Each structure stands twice: as C-alpha cells, then as structure tokens.
Amino acid sequence: MSIKRETAGSRKRYWKCPVESDEMKRRALRAGTEGLANLYEQVTFDEVHRQVLHLIPVEPARVLEIGAGAGRDAAALSARGHTVVAVEPSDEFRGIGQRVHAGHRIQWVNDKLPELGTVARLNRPFQLIMLTAVWMFLHGGERDRAVSRIQELLSEGGRLGVVLRIGPVPYLRRRLYLSPPLEGSA
Ligand SMILES: C[S@@+](CC[C@H](N)C(=O)[O-])C[C@H]1O[C@@H](n2cnc3c(N)ncnc32)[C@H](O)[C@@H]1O
C-alpha cells in the first residue's frame, strides 16, 4: 500500500494546544492521571483537529484511536457515527475514559504500539487511524515497527491522522506512562 501524505499546512500554522501551557501541565502532573485526563478533556476534538477536520470521513467508518487517553477523540468520533476502537495501555486512563464517556459506544482495548497484538486480532481494516500526542512515547526502532503495524491495519485508501509534538520531549514525560512508579509523580 502506498501512503499519500497530507499535512495541516506550513509550520507557521501549527496550533499550540492549551494543554501545552506550562502552568497547566505542572498542575495536572501534580494531580496525577486524573489531573492529566482533566487537562486532555478541556479541549475539544474540533479544536485539536481543526486543521484536518475536512479529512475526517463523513460516512460511518471503522476508526482506530491509538493512545486514546481519557477518550476525548474516541467519544467525538463515536458521536459522528463512527465505530470506534480506543487503544489505551494505561489502566487508569482507560478507566477514566470508560467512566467519563460511558454514554458513547467505544470499544476500549488494553494494547500498545508497536505490536498492537490484540488489535491485530480484531475485525479490520480501519478506514481512519488516529495517533494524537503519542508518537513521542516511541523510540526509533519501535517507530519503524509501529508504521508497519499501522499500515497492516489501515484499509486501502484509509487515512492516518498523526498529531506530533514539535520540539524536545521532556525526559519525565517520555517515561511517564512506561514505568508505573513514575506515573503522576513528576
Ligand atoms: C499525551 S497522552 C494523549 C492522549 C490523547 N490522545 C489525547 O490527545 O488526549 C498520550 C497517550 O498515549 C498513551 N501511550 C503511551 N505509550 C503508548 C504506546 N506505546 N501505545 C499506545 N498508547 C501509548 C498514553 O498512555 C497516553 O494515554
């Protein structure tokens, strides 16, 4: 499968997410996973993805939301009529997402990149795969494997939406979800 690239535009148009405000981040980290989840839920799907909303399928589609966090985007995509599988490796985030977005039909899966072994056994392919603020948690070798897996899961002509962090990743943020003792302790 060939992958066609469409970007949100020039670097100047990059949107600085309110979640990136240093003071908000500090407060959220002090409040642990629940605090981070609140922070992620303070922005809407439409705000976060406003530059690529025209690329979101209009017709009902199978959507894979990888690194779903507290489920903001999974819920919004479900509300748009899509069938959503939300992948989230953190038990805490998954629990919060299931609680906060209980009114939405979302299939929550405990899995993670690069393998996505459980997702690979589900009904597929997906017409849309979203990765928002997740790529920074993967290192070089994992990224290559993740791309191959995503390619397998994406339908022919399907779309992959990736929201990247621009700039360096603070050490603690990279490890935040990888080591349970560090979770919420920064
Ligand atoms: C910064 S949060 C973003 C959450 C959500 N996408 C949002 O925009 O609100 C990053 C999420 O990626 C998840 N994550 C970290 N490493 C992951 C991996 N290897 N595979 C899938 N998700 C991962 C974390 O548990 C966390 O929920």
Per-residue pLDDT of the chain (186 residues; tens, 9 = 90+): 455 655 555 444 444 555 556 676 667 666 788 888 888 898 999 999 999 999 999 999 999 999 999 999 999 999 999 999 999 999 999 999 999 999 999 999 999 999 999 999 998 899 999 999 999 899 889 999 999 999 999 999 999 999 987 666 554 454 444 333 333 322
Ligand 1 proximity of 101 Cβ (cutoff 6 Å):
no
Q: Identify the pLDDT of residue 33.
A: 87
Q: Identify the pLDDT of residue 174.
A: 46
Nearest CA to ligand 1 atom 24: 67
Q: Is the pTM of this model over 0.75?
A: yes
Ligand 1 proximity of 127 Cβ (cutoff 6 Å):
no
Q: Identify the pLDDT of residue 12.
A: 44
Q: Identify the pLDDT of residue 177.
A: 43
Residue 143: HSE in the Cβ half-sphere, 13 Å Cα cutoff = 9
All domains of the chain, ordered by start, with CATH?
54-169 (3.40.50.150)
- Which atom, in ligand 1's list, is nearest to the CA of 89? 25
- The answer to whether the CB of 6 falls within 8 A of the CB of 33 is no
